[in-house]
Amino acid sequence: MADTTQNSLFELSIDHESVGYLTETARWSKFLAIVGFVTCGLIAIFSFFAGSFLANSPVLAAYPAAEVQTMSTIGGAFLTVLYLIIAVVYFFPCLYLYRYSVRMKEALNTNDQVKLNQSLKNQKMLFRYVGIVTIIAVSLEAMALIIFGVAAMLVTPR
Amino acid sequence: MDTANVQDNPELLEMHLDYDGGNTLREAVRWSKFLSIVGIAGIGLLLAVGLIATPYVLNGYGQLTPDSEGIIDVLLIALALYFGALIAAAILLLRFSRLTKKGMDHEDQHIFNRGLKSLRITFMILGILSCLSLLGLLFSLIYPM
C-alpha cells in the first residue's frame, strides 16, 4: 500500500536508470518541440498564400475569370483563417513539450524536486490538451459524416 | 525548495516521486492511455481504408508508365512504413501508461523505469517521424507534383 505521508506518497525515486531514460526523453522531446514550432511557423506563413494558390488552382481553371476572382478571395480568406487556427492549436502542445524538456533537463542537472514536478505538470498538460483536441476532432468528424450521409440520402433520387 | 548539494550527499540523486508529482503523473498516464488507444484505432482504420481504396485510386489514374508505377510502389511502401512506425509509437505510449501506473500502484521501481523507457522510445520514434514529415513537406513545396 502507498505511504500516505504528505511528502512522499510513493517509494519510487529517480534513480540512475530512470535518469538515463528521462535525459534522453527530454532531449528528444525538445527536438520534437522545435520541429513543431518550425511546422507551426510554416503553416502560418503558408496560410497567407492560400488565396493565390487557390486562384492558380487547376480546379478553378474552367470558370470565368470574374468568378475565379470571387471564389479565390472568399476561399482564400477561409483557408487563411483555417490554417491560422490550425497553427495556433498546434502551437500549445509544442510549448508544453518544450517546457517539459527544459524543466526536466534542469531538474536532472540540479537535482531539483520542484523543477521535476513542474516538468511532470507540463507533460500532463500536454497529454490533456492533445486528448481534448482529439475528442473535439473525432466528434466533429463523426458529425460531418452523419450530416454528409443524411444529405447524400436526401439528394439520391428514388 | 529541495536543492540538495550533490557533494554533501553520498547519493547522486535525491529526487523522488512525491505527492504532487505522483498525482500529476497519474493524470498524464490516464490521458496517454486514451491517446494511445485512439491513435491505434485511428491509424488502423486509415490503413484499412487505404488498403481497400488503393486499387480503385490506381485504376482511376489509367495506364501508368513503368517509371510512374515504380515511384508509386516506393511511395506506398514508404507510407506503410510511416504508419507502421506511428502504430509502434502508439503501442509504446500504451506500454508507458500501463507500466508507469503499475509501477506507482505497486511501488515497483523496476516496472516504473520500464514505463519511462517506453516513453523514451515513443518520443524517439515521433522525433524521427516529425523530421521525415517536415522534410517531405519542404520537398513537396519545392518540387510540387
What pTM did the predictor assign?
0.81
User: Which residue in the block uniquely carries the three cell numbers 517509494?
Assistant: A11
Residue B6 vs residue A139, higher pLDDT: A139
pLDDT over 90 at A72, yes or no: no
User: What ipTM was estimated for this complex?
Assistant: 0.79
Which cell numbers hold the place of A105?
A: 533537463
Contact B13, A13 (CB under 8 A): yes
The answer to whether the Cβ–Cβ distance between A35 and B104 falls below 8 Å is no
**DSSP secondary structure letters along A84-117:** HHHHHHHHHHHHHHHHHHHHHHHHHHHTBHHHHH
Output the tens digit of pLDDT for each of chain B's 145 residues: 344 444 444 344 567 888 888 889 999 999 999 999 999 998 888 888 888 877 777 676 655 566 666 777 788 888 888 889 999 999 999 999 999 999 988 888 899 999 999 999 999 999 999 888 888 878 877 766 4
What's the per-residue H, E or C state across B77-96?
HHHHHHHHHHHHHHHHHHHH
The answer to whether the Cβ–Cβ distance between A35 and B134 falls below 8 Å is yes
> A151: distance to nearest CA of chain B, Å?
22
A131 reaches B (C-beta below 8 A): yes
pLDDT over 60 at A140, yes or no: yes
User: Which residue in the block uniquely carries the three cell numbers 524538456?
Assistant: A101
